[in-house]
Structure 1
Amino acid sequence: MMHPTINLPTLIAHRGYSAAAPENTLTAVRAAYDAGATWVELDVQLLGDGTPVIWHDSDVSRCSDGRGELAMITWQQVQHLDVGSWFGDGFSGEKMASLEAMLALLNELNMGVNLEIKVNKGRDPIALVDTVMPSVLAALPAERLIVSSFDPAALAHCRHFAPKEALALGVLFGSTPKEWRAQCEAVEAFSIHAHWPHLKRSQADAMRENGYQVLCYTPNDPSAFDSRWAWGVASAITDEPAAFQRYLNNQRQHG
C-alpha cells in the first residue's frame, strides 16, 4: 500500500511565516498564506489542563508577556497572555492558538501542515498523541498533512491511529543516527526531516533510494542552501519563505 498522495511544496513556512509574524500563531499562518506559501510547519503541545495548543517551547517566557511552564497553565490562564507584542507592536493582543482554531484556519485557507508532535522534557508523548490525533485526522485530508516528531514513542503511537496510506509520518533528526533506517521502518515513515547543516549528501542519497522524501529544516539563507537542491531535497522548512521564493525565481530567470 502507498502513502497519501502529497504534493510537497518546495518551501514550507516554519512555525508559519515566523520571520514576519510571531511564530506558531494564526497571524503567522495567514502571513505565510499571503506570501504565497501553501504549507506551514507548526508545533503542538498540551497545556496543564490537557488543551492542545500550537506552541514550541516548554514555557511561555520567550514568546509571550508572561511566565510559566506550559504543563502548569490552563486554557483560561493563557487567555490573558499577549503572544504577539514580543515580536512587534503591530502584533500586540495576539492570543495563543488552540489546535482547534488552527485546524479551522488551515481548512479555511486550504493549506497543508507539517504538524510536529512536540514532546518537551518531562512531558508524556502518549497523552499528547491521544489528544491531538483524533481531531487532526478528522479535520484534515491525508494529502494536506504530515505528522512529525523527534520522539519515537510519539510516532509509533501516531501510527496506531491510521495506517501509512492514510497518514504520512515524518521522522525528525538533528544529526542522522546510524540506525535511521530502522527508526523510519518502525513507523512506516513517509519523510525524513533533517537538520540541514548536519545532513551529508551520501545520507540524502540513501534516504531517497530507500523511498523517503527528504525535508530540511531550518535554512534561512537561500544561497547557502542552494547546493542542497541537487541532492533531491523535496522541501526547505524556512522562516523566510518569501526571501527563498525570490531567490529561486531569480535563479530560474538566470538559469
Structure 2
Amino acid sequence: MKHPTISLPRLIAHRGLSRQAPENSLSAVRAAHQAGIAWVELDVQLLGDGTPVIWHDLGVSRCSDGRGSLRRYDWPQACTLDTGSWFGDHFSGERMASLEAMLALLVELDMGVNLELKVNKGRDPIALVDSVLPRAMQALSPQRLILSSFNQGALAHARDHADTSRLALGALFGSLPGDWHVQCQAVDAFSVHVHWPRLKRPQAKAISEAGYPLICYTVNDPSAFAPRWGWGVTSAISDDPTLFKNFPPHHLSV
C-alpha cells in the first residue's frame, strides 16, 4: 500500500488562520501563508445548485449576513453574502470562497491542504465526493492534499475513485472508536485525525505503531497540549499556529 510522500508540518492552520481572519476564507489562507504556515485545514460542501464551496456550517447565519441553510443558496445568491463583517470591519465585503477559487489560491501560494468533506445532516456524501474529488486532484499534487471526513461513506467513495498512490485519505474521529483500525483499513487511510482532549496515550501509541500519521485538532493551548508531542503526534491543527512559536519544544516550527 503505497501512499503519496507527504511531508506534514508540525502545525496546520484550522480553517485557515481563523484566529486572525474569517474562517474558511481566502483571507484566512493568505494570512496563514503570510505567517509562514505551509498547510491549512479547510471544509468543503455543496450549495443547493451543486457548487462546491469552502464552508463549515449547515447554515450561513454564523459567518455571514445571510440566513437559512446553505442548500437554499445557489452560487449567484451566495456571492451576495458578506462573509467577513461578522469577524471584523477590516474584512467587510469578503465573499464565500468557491472550491475553484480556493484551489487556485493554494496553487499560487504553493500550500498543502487537509480538505474535509463536510457531510452535514441531510446532505449527500456521494454527490459531494463526485463534485470535489476531480477538481481537487486536478489542481493539487498528491503530496499537497489530504482528503478527510467523519463520513465513512464519503471516504469509501473517494477511495473507489482513486488508489492510495494518488490520494491520501484521513479518517476523522471525535473520540477514537474501538474499531478505528478496521475503519482505516477499509478505506486504505493515510492518516488518523482525532479531537485532542479525547485522545489517550495508549491510543496514540497504537496509531503510531500501526504506521499512521496522527493529526490532532483543534489545538489552541500549547501548554496543555505539550505532553502529546511525546505520544507520537505528527501534526496539530490550530486556529492560530503562531501561538506555538515561543513555546517549547523549541524545535517545533510552523
Post-superposition CA distance 1:132-168 (Å, at most 9, x none): 1001010000000000000000000010121011111
Aligned to 1:230: 230
- 1:231 is paired with a residue whose SS is coil
Aligned to 1:32: 32
Q: Aligned pair in 2 of structure 1 residues 115, 36: CA closer, same or farther (>3 Å)? A: same
How does 1:49-198 map onto structure 2 within 5 Å? 49-198=49-198
Query: In 1, distance between residues paired with 2:130 and 2:114?
Result: 18
Using the size of structure 2 for normalisation, the TM-score is 0.97
Query: In 2, distance between residues paired with 1:35 and 1:3?
Result: 29
The residue identity in structure 2 corresponding to 1:213 is: P
Aligned to 2:44: 44
- 2:245 is paired with a residue whose SS is helix
Structure 1 stretches of 4+ with a deviation exceeding 4 A read none
Query: In 1, distance between residues paired with 2:188 and 2:137?
Result: 17
Query: Unaligned stretches of 5+ in structure 1?
Result: none
- 1:138 is paired with a residue whose SS is helix
Count of residue correspondences: 252
Q: CA deviation at 1:76?
A: 0.6
The residue identity in structure 2 corresponding to 1:212 is: Y
How does 1:196-215 map onto structure 2 within 5 Å? 196-215=196-215
Query: Unaligned stretches of 5+ in structure 2?
Result: none
- 1:157 is paired with a residue whose SS is helix
Say what the alpha-carbon RMSD is for the aligned residues: 1.1
Quote the sequence identity (%): 66
Using the size of structure 1 for normalisation, the TM-score is 0.97
Q: CA deviation at 1:222?
A: 0.6
The residue identity in structure 2 corresponding to 1:15 is: R
Post-superposition CA distance 1:12-60 (Å, at most 9, x none): 0000000000000000000000111000000000000000000000000
Q: CA deviation at 1:252?
A: 4.6
Query: In 2, distance between residues paired with 1:165 and 1:76?
Result: 37
Q: CA deviation at 1:246?
A: 2.8
